[in-house]
Structure formats: structure tokens, C-alpha cells
Amino acid sequence: MTDIALEMPWLQKSWQVIQHRLAEGRLPHALLVTGECGVGKRAWADAVSGLLLCAAPVNMQAGAPVACGKCRQCELLAASSHPDVRVYAPEKSRMIKVDQIRSLSAFAVSSPQVAGRKIAVIDRADQLNINSANALLKTLEEPVSDFVLLLLQESGRPVLPTIRSRCQVLSIPVPSTEQANQWLASRVANLESDKQPSAELMAKSLMLAGNAPRLALEYATGEFPALRDEAFDKFRQFMKGQVAVAEAAKAFKALGLEDMLWLFEGWAADLARLSAGGKANDPEAGEMLGFLAGINPAWRAHELLDRVRDGRAAGVYNANPELEASRLLLAWRDLMPTKRRAS
């Protein structure tokens, strides 16, 4: 089985932590893995699951084991049919519900069916609701020797301090531009020729994804860049008073709530960077954001970030994306000089 650090070299440090802990017999019962959206947290968790379940890891004596890829455990995992691995993620809502965590708790105390241990992955631990988070605490407080819990958290999305304090924390960095480019190019090369994005689109997708390669691949092969350009165009027109808020909001609604909030969050973060004398991560928005940074106090950027967090919290209760877009657009317009605001 391929070493994940060879495929995604920016995962090397966090991967080696697991390799060394396994070789030394010092595995933690719960790991909280943090990183930006699209940086490879789930791929890392899948690789860790394979290593921990493998019946005959290769290179164990050298302290850098990898799964053999040949034993029954590896074959079951490759077929996505291993009974001792469970993944919990939001289902039919934006949150992980208490019934899912109760199922996880029952799984944790059951006997492994075919392997020597059980693995549970909580994909988006930052989307546990208060009831499910409290239910998880019991499992964390009463660890089982043959059970390992991997919690994946997106950067900037909080988890309860009581959960974080009961886990060992690993951070996955964003790769360098060179690493991200190489990974994205290798994936694009496997696509049919008529579906391969242009070099320009790949570069733009990486920029929009903040160099997170898996997210960039999703963007480069999907509709997000075009929808984002339409939303940005309406945003500029709205800020200049050329279109009404309802028209601009429709362009953001087309993105969907999560991508819309991601976009507004990125611009607000760039506004904060520019206010502090830094550079915008989104160069296409840099000129407009630089103008706003020059005429507003720095705290206005953080106020906008708070409003995005409010929008994300409202999303739990199926908030209307168009209304949320209108609310955020009006907050942005408040940064403009009075005479340039739309009537």
C-alpha cells in the first residue's frame, strides 16, 4: 500500500507521528486532526485506518510502518467493506446528530469482528451539535483499549473545549504552491482529455481554494469558479450602487450557503490582512478590498467575520441562503462611503 506521505508530502509530519506511535505501542485513544477544507484530512484518516487495521504492516521494525495492502484487513478496507471501521458525518442536515454518536458509542464498546481493533472517524467534528458533542464526551472519558477515534476538524470551526482537551491534537498544514500544483496536475492528468481543465483554470482554482489541493480539484472540475466570478461581478456592482441587493444576492444564492459563506469569509479575512499591511489571498478582489481597508478601521473586518459565523450557525437551522446573502451584502455596503452606496 502506498505511503500517504509520498502521495501527499505535506502530510508527512502528521503521518510520521502515527507511524512512530504505532511502532512504539503508544497510540492515543483519540486524535483531533485539524486543517483547512480540502487539505487531505480524510485521505490521512483513511490511510491511518488502513495502517492500524493491517495484520502485517511493512517496515515495522524501522519505525516507519505502512499497511501491506495484501492481508484480509487491507482487502476489506480497499473494498470499503471492513466491519471494524465506521465513518460518521452529517446526514440530511449540516450537523452530526446525537443518534449517530450513540451508534458510535455502542460500536466503541463492541468486540472487533475481524481485526485487532476498531476505528471510528468523525468527519467534520466541528459539526457536532451540542447534544451529540455531550454524548461523545462519555466515550472520550472512558476509553476502550481496542478502539481509536479520529476526529477531523476544519480550521476556524470550533469544537467544544471539553472534547478538544480529551484528544491529542495534530495539525495538517496547507501544502506549498509547488506541492499543490504537482498533486493537482497528477490528478488532472488522469481525467479524459476533454474534461481536463486549462492551466489557467487550475491556477485560479488553487488560488480560490487557498492552495488546498483536493478542494482545488473539486473547483477545477466543477462550476464554482464561474459561479464565483458571477457573484464577484455582482458584488462589485452592488458596492458601487449599480445593482440592487436582491439582484446581487441571487448570484450568491447560486453558490449554495456553504460556498457563499466561504467566499465572504475569505474576503473578510483578506480585508483584515490588508488592514494590517499584508496582502490579499484573492488578488482579483485585492484592489476593491484594499480601498475598503484604507477607509475603515481594522475592527470592521472582524465584525464581518463574526457575521459570517452567525450565518454558519443559522445554516444549522436551514437558513435561507438568499436572505443570508442579502444580510451580508448590506453589512459590506456599510463599509462604503455614504455617497457611493446604493439608494
Q: Is the pLDDT of residue 343 over 60?
A: no
The pLDDT assigned to 342 comes to 46
Tell me how many degrees the CA angle 191-228-320 measures, rounded to the nearest 5.
115
Q: What is the mean pLDDT of residues 271-294?
A: 95
Residue 120's Cα: distance from chain center in Å? 18
Q: Which three cell numbers stand for residue 229?
A: 466570478
pLDDT for 2 beyond 60: no
Provide the mean pLDDT of the chain: 92
DSSP strand pairing (30-35 vs 147-154): parallel
Helices (H), 221-336: 224-239, 245-253, 257-275, 283-295, 299-315, 321-333
pLDDT band per the 50, 70, 90 thresholds, residue 317: low
Q: Give the pLDDT band (50/70/90) at residue 1.
A: very low
Taking every pair of Cα atoms in the chain, the longest distance, rounded to a whole number of angstroms, is 72
pLDDT at residue number 316: 66
**CB proximity list for 166: less than 8 A, separation 6 or greater:** 30, 137, 140, 141
Q: Are 329 and 336 in contact (CB under 8 A)?
A: no
Identify whether the C-beta of residue 245 lies closer than 8 Å to the C-beta of residue 326: yes
**Predicted structure pTM score:** 0.88
Q: pLDDT for 23-64, tens place per residue?
A: 888 999 999 999 999 999 999 999 999 999 999 998 876 678
- Identify the weakest region by mean pLDDT among 76-80, 184-188, 290-294, 310-314: 310-314
What is the rounded average pLDDT of the residues 315-322? Answer: 78
Structure confidence by residue, pLDDT tens digits, 162-216: 999 999 999 999 999 999 999 999 999 988 888 899 999 999 999 999 999 999 9
Question: Once rounded to an integer, what is the mean pLDDT over residues 278-283?
Answer: 93
Lowest mean pLDDT among 48-52, 58-62, 92-96, 249-253: 58-62
Rounded mean pLDDT, 307-319: 81
In sequence order, the β-bridge partners of residue 171 are: 34
Mean pLDDT of the region 5-33: 91
Q: How far is CA 159 from the centre of its chain?
A: 14
Please tell me which residue, 225 or 158, carries the higher pLDDT value: 225
Task: Provide mean pLDDT across the span 54-81.
Answer: 88
Q: Give the residue-averaged pLDDT of 252-274.
A: 95
pLDDT at 99 over 80: yes
Residue 149 bridge partners (DSSP): 30, 120
Amino acid 156: pLDDT? 82
Residue whose cell numbers read 441571487: 250
Query: Does the pLDDT at position 253 exceed 90?
Result: yes
pLDDT > 70: what percent of the chain?
97
Cell 524501522 sits on residue: 62
Residues found in the chain: 343
User: What would the mean pLDDT of 309-333 be, rounded to a whole number?
Assistant: 88
pLDDT the model gives residue 93? 73
pLDDT value at residue 3: 72
For residue 279, the SS3 value is coil
Q: What is the 3-state secondary structure (H, E, C) of the chain?
A: CCCHHHHCHHHHHHHHHHHHHHHHCCCCCEEEEEECCCCCHHHHHHHHHHHHHCCCCECCCCCCCECCCCCHHHHHHHCCCCCCEEEECCCCCCCECHHHHHHHHHHHHCCCCCCCCEEEEEECHHHECHHHHHHHHHHHHCCCCCEEEEEEEECCCCCCHHHHCCCEEEECCCCCHHHHHHHHHHHHCCCCHHHCCCHHHHHHHHHHCCCCHHHHHHHHCCCHHHHHHHHHHHHHHHHCCCCCHHHHHHHHHCCCHHHHHHHHHHHHHHHHHHHCCCCCCCHHHHHHHHHHHHHCCCHHHHHHHHHHHHHHHHHCCCCCHHHHHHHHHHHHHCCCCHHHCCC
End-to-end CA distance of the chain: 62
Question: According to the model, what pLDDT value does residue 194 have?
Answer: 85
Q: Are 216 and 180 in contact (CB under 8 A)?
A: yes
Q: What is the pLDDT of residue 38?
A: 94
Element (H, E) at 37: none
Q: How confident is the model over 107-155, as pLDDT tens digits? A: 999 999 999 999 999 999 999 988 999 999 999 999 999 999 999 999 8
Task: Give yes or no for residue 241 having a pLDDT over 90.
Answer: yes
